[in-house]
Amino acid sequence: MQPNILLDTLNAELRLGSDDELSRYLELPAAVIHDLRCQFRPVSPEVIVVINERTGISVAKIRAMIAIEPALRHQVE
């Protein structure tokens, strides 16, 4: 998984300057963003849904950004 790519892409597409701004935009605790960035936690289905709802980015595109293999997708749904 590549959560850094996901977070960097979100920051760029939303024109945000930091993970703290991303945290506020997504209404997720800063600790969650930090843990994702440091790969202390996986990108959970709940986080994928929040990103989808707050940004309008499709679940498929979010999955592509974190490179979830098609065989593992059933675990996220």
Percent of the chain having pLDDT more than 70?
86
Domain count, the chain: 1
CB crowding 37-61: b at 16 or more within 10 Å, else e: eeeeeebeeebbeebeeeeebeeee
In a domain, 55, yes or no: yes
Q: Is there a domain that residue 76 lies in?
A: no
The pTM assigned to this predicted structure is 0.81
Task: With respect to residue 47, please indicate whether it lies within any of the assigned structural domains.
Answer: yes
Q: Residue 9, Cβ neighbours under 10 Å: how many?
A: 17
Structural domain boundaries enclosing 54: 3-69
CATH of the domain at 23: 1.10.260.40
Assigned domain for 45 exists: yes
Residue 60 within any structural domain of the chain: yes
pLDDT digits (tens, 9 = 90+) for 14-46: 999 999 999 999 999 999 999 999 999 999 999
Residue 30 lies in a domain: yes
